[in-house]
Structure 1
Amino acid sequence: MGIPSYFSHITRRHAKVLNDLRSMIKKNKVDHLFLDANSIIYDASKMNHTNQTIYNRVAEIIKEYIKIINPSGTILVAFDGVAPMAKMVQQRTRRCKGTIEKKYAYEQMKWDTIAITPGTDFMNELPDQLRQRLPDNIHISGPDEPGEGEHKIFRYIRDHNMKNDLCVVYGLDADLIMLSMLNIPYCKQIYLARETQYFYNNDGNEKEGLCCMDISMLTQHLCDDIRNDTYDISNETYISDYIFICFLLGNDFLPHFPSINIRNNGIDLVINAYKKTISKHKCGITYDNCIRWKCVRTLIRELAHDEYGRLVEHYAGIDTIKRRMYKSNKMSDRLKNIPLTDRRDEEYIDPYTNGWEQRYYSTLFNVYPDKKRVSEITRNYIEGLEWTFQYYKVGCIHWTWCYHYNYPPLLNDLINEIPYFDVDVLKREDTLPVHPLTQLSYVIPYKAFHLLPSDVNELLHRKYDELCNDNYEIKWAFCRYFWESNITSPEININDLERDIIFLFK
């Protein structure tokens, strides 16, 4: 889950949950090893510039981790397959921004990492190439199997009896922390492993080697942080609630609220609102795999109380950072900091003058903010809360659902659309993952169309010309860095694109 700065927050607040991986292994026998392996391809491509040398290096890295961790049971290497539409929107945004950043990068990549997308020749060949290079006892879930790598891993854990085993999960995604905590009922001992430099990314440490996070201990620490001993609420519910309220900080599927930012004590803010919520309702926000919407109403109302004040604080804080900012002549630095230096949208919204709420919607959503349009936006966001919660709890309930906007509604507007009763706000539909080439066609920038088969390339030029350019509308209002900015994706009917792609390959 792309929660900005979440790893650094955890390492600052709960340093005791971190340990040297080799030290942990000396004290404990590892039963199973799971590798969320897309990041391994990125690492391998930094020093290797052909498909074959990258396949070789990926296999070598996997063998190195296996040798260090030495599991006695299952070894599963999971790569990302076709993703839900909600994730595809984020993938397109990330890849399009990447092409802009690469223009100004000090060191140009010699191998195009956009090829690390299901449907490319490189990814199609990956499973067989690795099977030729790795022992037969290693299970490979390739890009031909739908789903994100981390979700495949935890589906495997849930489907097998691992409750009393020790599992090590390797990966670099903050998503893994959330998924690991949710799956403690299925495996009591989960350790999340990654290079030490990533755990301590922002504190000046130059540590090397592998570090691990004790998910069971972290779960207990977080429960202690938010527990109210007056009420009989289980740790499982507390963790489910914690993950739900963290959605408000932003993730791969929903944008964060400008008035709630993890860099400015956003987690403390939502936890304090959560504590007031459970004190009022005497129960958790979630139960089983359901959401108590009346509790969510209370939570959002608490957060909405000073939405305006926090926005004003944001403006003052950005002004302070801008004054202190080192002015670099490097284009890459100027691009990185452009949300500080070009604030025309934020200046136009201007919460210091009346009517800022209407300007928020007209500027960031490109709509006239009448009651109907604001209601559509808020309903779509509420659908997103339910979709994301179900995605982490049970898996994808709707493969083609997505949030259609780059920014969330204002909290005071969100309250008006939250249900009073516990209902399913997202209509369940019998949807399926799209074809890998449908995803590839949608998520890659026009510059990377050489990765498409020629007949798909021709189809897109003939019927989907909105995909056939690299002219993006970019919004960075309420962002700190360019990589957090938003790109407006073309309104493509993914079902039409899927039908046309399938027809090509009949």
Structure 2
Amino acid sequence: MGVPAFYRWLAEKYPMVVVDVVEEEPVEIEGVKVPVDTSKPNPNGLEFDNLYLDMNGIIHPCFHPEDRPSPTTFGEVFQCMFDYIDRLFIMVRPRRLLYMAIDGVAPRAKMNQQRSRRFRAAKDAADAAAEEERLREEFEREGRKLPPKQQSQTCDSNVITPGTEFMAVLSVALQYYIHLRLNYDPGWKQIKVILSDANVPGEGEHKIMSYIRGQRNLSGFNPNTRHCLYGLDADLIMLALATHEVHFSILREVVYTPGQQDKCFLCGQVGHLAANCEGKVKRKAGEFDEKGDAIVPKKPYQFLNIWTLREYLEYEFRMPNPPFKIDFECIVDDFIFMCFFVGNDFLPHMPTLEIREGAINLLMAVYKKEFPSMGGYLTDSCTPDLNRVEHFIQAVGSYEDKIFQKRARLHQRQAERIKREKAQAKRGDDLDPHVRDDLIVPIQRFQGSRLASGAVPAPYEQNGSHKDNKERNNRARKAARVSTPGSSIAAAIVEAENDLEAQERDNKEELKSMLKDALREKSDIFNSENPEEDKVKLGEPGWRERYYEEKFGARTPEQIEEIRRDVVLKYTEGLCWVMHYYYEGVCSWQWFYPYHYAPFASDLRDLGHLNITFELGTPFKPFDQLMGVFPAASAHALPLQYRRLMTDPSSPIIDFYPTDFEVDMNGKRYSWQGIAKLPFIDEARLLAEIKKVEHTLTPEEARRNSVMFDMLFVNGSHPLSPYIYSLNSKFGHLPDKERNEIKEKLDPSASGGMNGYITLRSGDPCPPIFRSPVDGLEDIMDNQLKCSG
């Protein structure tokens, strides 16, 4: 759906849905930091029962954080994650449950998007490495010192995928963190913690929703349970609405604040909108202290309150003289379904509708206008009524010509303006006033007595480049310090070493800034001497035929109609699949949309005659998914024989792993917005080749490739603890295979209203010592935790 676009639309249209989070900070007394006591009331005036963490929204920011240097080891990533979760826990302070969900194996419909992202990431990383090497050589030719490149375990973020060694170690690290907090933090003592790691199939947010759906339909569930869900994806808002739970909040970083329309959401700078963004990196100015550490304020957080959004939607969808009594819960379902048309993770973007062009407002206006004649709601729980959907989307399609014509005019204006501004920049008309010769104070003015007394010269000379002047000024500072009365040789040496380190640090920061600039410039089609020609020309007569010719390879009117029918069938299947996924879970693990492009809104006709059915099937194993989504550049994360299937030129499936591929800009400005035209995986061929090498896995690799269950942790003082202890006493002597089949039903009165079954995990459910998997953190020597499946 596009996080910045949807969240921005929501916060602008319904400003009261977001509330700033009040954070309580740890205090420092005589140099000792006193942690926040989370057992005390929440300073936000809300008490939450359950906190759910979509862990991929934590793992990725910790892998490449914005407010600190990038980590180089997995241990640093884990420590960052522990701090991250601590901060979220302090904000929310759940009283009953903390549910931590890591993405497991995804449905095939999602894997195509994952494959595109990971191939693009590998391609971008290779381009960035080549550009960085070029800049380093340029710096060396100029005699500018740079610190050596650091070896890093985190250079390939593709390892954040089920089945990799990183994900296995991450699970152990999170288990250690849970043991640490449940043993020693008073705010954790009476809560249950569920960890659903990467070996449990399903996307993190959908595992959370499956848990909520399962609980609310069983006895003992409190309908007034207060839920809080943390995550970065826009679809979490839709998923929260789909639960029909009133007491629900989404916790997230502030990405857009109403009233900040002049701030660009692409580069984060004020003074222009995204449509006018040239992708320039913000200049560093006072962002580093004397030690070179980043001084970046903590990102603020907001609660997006679903109950307030529901009130807005109820007001928004008021209709005079409705044909029957309105059921607001059905309106909510229809709103969620309509939003699928502007984007989701499982279907390509429909060319008709763009959030930034007001697409959601258009959908809502058409819905209200057509509602009396539709004869009912678009959906019935998880099932779309295709006749009504056709009526609705055809009404939307009637606006297509106007939408495309307006888009073409705006795109043309933007292109002309940007070319004009770039031409001015080349002529030097818009030089930054700080570097214009007529505004530079010559450094010679400051020579003489002030320089001899240690005064720092002006930052620029009249002649020479900025880099040359920086070098001269550093030497001048050094000379000034050495000539100061009372200075010693040793002090001068220390000063010189500090200057050298500072210089290297400055050079490194400048290289990073130049690298960002260079990569952004290369990705901008307005900088290309031979920009990709727009052959479809949406808005000009004949755009539909040209679209199917260019995007689908159709050549005759008969081929166009044949492809259109199949595209519409598969796209409609996709809409039904997504609706089912949101409301009841996966209805087919194998189904996927087999095209790179979507149909037009006006193409969705004759839907009532379509026969839509799904077969559930089974999820891929973790290594199967890795083989389906990884490029060859990430083959290092797979076992040797699997790796060879991706990299050996004689591999029967080597065609699945192209080193280069076409990126269709499809009317977009930046290359990262384009469509990666990768070949779709032939599942039968892939699994047949994998089966031939599966026997080569070591026991540890086989464990990483297996399907597991959620893990439940409680403190020894929790009412559930005796149940786990009793289960272990009765069946702990059995072999792992047999004990894993033993299930005991939970008593909701003892579990705080939670239903389900508990089973025994392999090993001791309460090990007296839990070894730390993270360097620098101590072992837990007096563990009081109980753990079950």
Q: Letter of the 1:20 partner, please give it.
A: D
Pair 1:145-2:236 in alignment: no
Q: Supply the distance in 2 between the matched residues of 1:433 and 1:18 (Cα, whole angstroms).
A: 37
> Are the equivalent residues in 2 in contact too, given 1:345–1:477 (CA < 8 A)?
no
Match of 1:316 in 2: 409
Do the aligned partners of residues 472 and 438 (structure 1) sit closer, same or farther apart at CA in structure 2, a change above 3 Å counting?
same
**Secondary structure of 1:245's partner?**
helix
Do the aligned partners of residues 199 and 151 (structure 1) sit closer, same or farther apart at CA in structure 2, a change above 3 Å counting?
farther
- Cα deviation for residue 26 of structure 1 reads 2.9
TM-score calculated relative to the size of structure 2 = 0.60
Do the aligned partners of residues 345 and 379 (structure 1) sit closer, same or farther apart at CA in structure 2, a change above 3 Å counting?
farther
> Are the equivalent residues in 2 in contact too, given 1:241–1:285 (CA < 8 A)?
yes
- Cα deviation for residue 73 of structure 1 reads 0.6
Do the aligned partners of residues 211 and 2 (structure 1) sit closer, same or farther apart at CA in structure 2, a change above 3 Å counting?
same
- Cα deviation for residue 59 of structure 1 reads 2.3
Q: Letter of the 1:397 partner, please give it.
A: C
> Are the equivalent residues in 2 in contact too, given 1:446–1:470 (CA < 8 A)?
yes
**Structure-to-structure mapping, 1:49-448, within 5 angstroms:** 49-102=72-125, 103-104=127-128, 111-135=155-179, 136=182, 137-160=192-215, 161-184=221-244, 187-197=245-255, 204=263, 208-229=299-320, 230=322, 231-325=324-418, 327=422, 330-338=517-525, 347-351=534-538, 354-368=541-555, 369-415=559-605, 417-419=606-608, 425-448=611-634
**CA offset digits 1:189-217 (Å, max 9, x no partner):** 11100122466797639983221100111
Match of 1:8 in 2: 8
**CA offset digits 1:326-375 (Å, max 9, x no partner):** 54993322344338968966631224655332211121223434321221
- Cα deviation for residue 124 of structure 1 reads 2.1
> Are the equivalent residues in 2 in contact too, given 1:166–1:190 (CA < 8 A)?
yes
Match of 1:497 in 2: 686
Match of 1:452 in 2: 638
**CA offset digits 1:82-112 (Å, max 9, x no partner):** 0111111111111222234332489899522
**CA offset digits 1:293-321 (Å, max 9, x no partner):** 11111112111213122112211111112
> Are the equivalent residues in 1 in contact too, given 2:51–2:94 (CA < 8 A)?
yes
Q: Supply the distance in 1 between the matched residues of 2:624 and 2:63 (Cα, whole angstroms).
A: 25
Match of 2:62 in 1: 44
> Are the equivalent residues in 2 in contact too, given 1:25–1:69 (CA < 8 A)?
no
Q: Supply the distance in 1 between the matched residues of 2:532 and 2:393 (Cα, whole angstroms).
A: 25
- Cα deviation for residue 125 of structure 1 reads 2.2
Q: Letter of the 1:488 partner, please give it.
A: K
Q: Supply the distance in 1 between the matched residues of 2:390 and 2:576 (Cα, whole angstroms).
A: 14
Match of 1:26 in 2: 44
**Secondary structure of 1:22's partner?**
coil
Return 92-101 or 202-211, whichever deviates more. 202-211
Return 307-316 or 386-395, whichever deviates more. 307-316
Q: Supply the distance in 1 between the matched residues of 2:384 and 2:529 (Cα, whole angstroms).
A: 40
**CA offset digits 1:22-73 (Å, max 9, x no partner):** 3885312111111001121112222311122212222232123223321111
Q: Supply the distance in 2 between the matched residues of 1:464 and 1:343 (Cα, whole angstroms).
A: 34
Do the aligned partners of residues 146 and 19 (structure 1) sit closer, same or farther apart at CA in structure 2, a change above 3 Å counting?
same
**CA offset digits 1:439-483 (Å, max 9, x no partner):** 111212222122221111123341211123221121121335433
- Cα deviation for residue 232 of structure 1 reads 1.8
> Are the equivalent residues in 2 in contact too, given 1:75–1:139 (CA < 8 A)?
yes
**CA offset digits 1:266-289 (Å, max 9, x no partner):** 111111221123121242111122
> Are the equivalent residues in 2 in contact too, given 1:339–1:479 (CA < 8 A)?
no
Q: Letter of the 1:21 partner, please give it.
A: V
> Are the equivalent residues in 2 in contact too, given 1:258–1:311 (CA < 8 A)?
no
- Cα deviation for residue 129 of structure 1 reads 1.9
- Cα deviation for residue 80 of structure 1 reads 0.5
Identity of aligned residues (%): 29
Do the aligned partners of residues 465 and 157 (structure 1) sit closer, same or farther apart at CA in structure 2, a change above 3 Å counting?
same
**Secondary structure of 2:22's partner?**
helix
> Are the equivalent residues in 2 in contact too, given 1:59–1:134 (CA < 8 A)?
no
Do the aligned partners of residues 162 and 77 (structure 1) sit closer, same or farther apart at CA in structure 2, a change above 3 Å counting?
farther
Do the aligned partners of residues 453 and 266 (structure 1) sit closer, same or farther apart at CA in structure 2, a change above 3 Å counting?
same
**Secondary structure of 1:399's partner?**
coil
**Secondary structure of 2:369's partner?**
helix
Do the aligned partners of residues 433 and 254 (structure 1) sit closer, same or farther apart at CA in structure 2, a change above 3 Å counting?
same
> Are the equivalent residues in 2 in contact too, given 1:34–1:170 (CA < 8 A)?
yes
> Are the equivalent residues in 2 in contact too, given 1:277–1:295 (CA < 8 A)?
no
Equivalent residue pairs, number:
500
Q: Letter of the 1:219 partner, please give it.
A: R
> Are the equivalent residues in 2 in contact too, given 1:88–1:442 (CA < 8 A)?
yes
> Are the equivalent residues in 2 in contact too, given 1:5–1:263 (CA < 8 A)?
yes
The unaligned stretches of length 5 or more in structure 2 are 24-41, 65-69, 133-148, 183-191, 216-220, 264-269, 271-296, 426-513, 696-789
- Cα deviation for residue 251 of structure 1 reads 1.3
> Are the equivalent residues in 1 in contact too, given 2:548–2:560 (CA < 8 A)?
no
The unaligned stretches of length 5 or more in structure 1 are none
Do the aligned partners of residues 342 and 123 (structure 1) sit closer, same or farther apart at CA in structure 2, a change above 3 Å counting?
farther
Cα RMSD (Å) = 2.7
Match of 2:267 in 1: none
> Are the equivalent residues in 2 in contact too, given 1:197–1:207 (CA < 8 A)?
no
**Secondary structure of 1:419's partner?**
helix
Q: Letter of the 1:130 partner, please give it.
A: L
**CA offset digits 1:200-249 (Å, max 9, x no partner):** 79763998322110011112212321232523222211111011111111
**Secondary structure of 1:284's partner?**
coil
